[in-house]
Amino acid sequence: MSERNLTQEEVDALPFENNLSDGHAFRSWTDAEFAIIADSARFFSESDRRGGRLAEAEYIRRYLALGAQSYIPEHFTGLMSYSASMAVEIVANLLRLRGLSVALIEPCFDNIADILRRHRIPLQPFPETVLTEGAAALEGLLETLTADAVFLVSPNNPTGTVTDEQAFTRIVEYCRAEGKLLVLDGCFRVYLSDEQVYDHYRILADSGIDCVVIEDTGKVWPAAELKAPFLSVSPRLTGEIAAMHSDFLLHLSPFTVRLITEFVRLAEEDGGRYLRELVARNRTLFQNAVPGSFLRTDDTRKLGLAWLEVTADGLDGERVRRLLAERDVHVLSGERFYWNSPHLGRRHLRMALLRDPEVIDRAAAVIAGLWAELGDG
């Protein structure tokens, strides 16, 4: 397995036309989105840091509403961030200073585990399979957990596995009864279907547990890497986290907050349906072009990503990744997503779907051609 982390691989792939490695939104603007960008000079001239706090509160309220989440400012303090990874870094500082260990979901994007390990935080696996195998599997895991905090990602990157309401409520009850801290990364929540949406914030506020929720927009809108992530922090953690947060950031650009608020406003018009439909079209386009005997979709369709299983004998994800890179198609292999048990991801690839359909079409043709070559061999 390569020693390079996934983000380094994503950076290397940035210059290439058929880059399907990172999960950020790199696609053409819709007409409505272009209208927002065309108006950005006005947003810039109207932005004023003196009104930044009110603008941030309005943005957070609207973004949470887009995901059917309660806005509870009397319980959660919203702290803006440059990136979700910076938010994880702040949480890691808190955990280290409090001497806490963490039960971390597996698989997940490798930088979460890397950041926590860099702070020498002891990690215990929280296998996402317990979220799909029924209540007994979850209960069995909770009985064995010794960590002081639980760190979940829902929907999870790379598989799209969702911690459903019953499981989430049980985990929250467990944290309350055992005095555990809960961290929830909800950065892909916009891609959830209506039947899988429930109110994380209300459940957490009603429980009274110590918790942090991390939100992000970089995986949603093509805003040239301008994004407006934030942490929602429960009362007993606010003072400590706010002090650390101030070491990283004075305030987020009011222009960025205004711009992303406009994208949120646009998504409000159809409940985010156009965001999900683009991903669904690209997923179907890919599946229709690539033989299932070679790569099989192995995710829950709840992300702007595809998690693919290499089903052909004699191949693994890393070899296929390298062969595709030689043909100017760039994806990620699956091993590093499994931070505790890399072998579980050996036959997987992750591919971004937040691209223009013609990019997906070109990549699918290359992948299908690779299978034809391998089959002939």
- pLDDT tens series, the chain, 377 aa: 447 887 888 888 778 888 999 988 888 899 999 999 999 999 999 888 776 889 999 999 999 999 999 999 999 999 999 999 999 999 999 999 999 999 999 999 999 999 999 999 999 999 999 999 999 999 999 999 999 999 999 999 999 999 999 999 999 999 999 999 999 999 999 999 888 999 999 999 999 999 999 999 988 998 888 999 999 999 999 999 999 999 999 889 999 999 999 999 999 999 999 999 999 999 999 999 988 879 999 999 989 999 999 999 889 999 999 999 999 999 999 999 999 999 999 999 999 999 999 999 999 999 999 998 887 54
Domains of the chain listed by start with CATH number: 6-23+272-376 (3.90.1150.10), 32-268 (3.40.640.10)
Give Cα separations from 100 to 55, 151, 194, 212, 287 (angstroms). Answer: 34, 12, 35, 14, 43
Backbone angles phi and psi of 308, in degrees to 5 = -115, 135
pLDDT for 377: 42
CB contact at 8 A, 145 and 151: no
Which tokens go with 88? 């994880």
Query: Strands 348-352, 332-333: parallel, antiparallel or unpaired by DSSP?
Result: antiparallel
Please give the biggest Cα pair distance in the chain: 66
Q: Which two tokens stand for residue 158?
A: 């790379």
Residue-level pLDDT at 1: 43
The residues, ordered by sequence, that sit 6+ positions from 284 with a Cβ below 8 Å of its Cβ are none
The three-point CA angle 266-269-271 to 5° equals: 100
User: Residue 151's pLDDT is what?
Assistant: 98
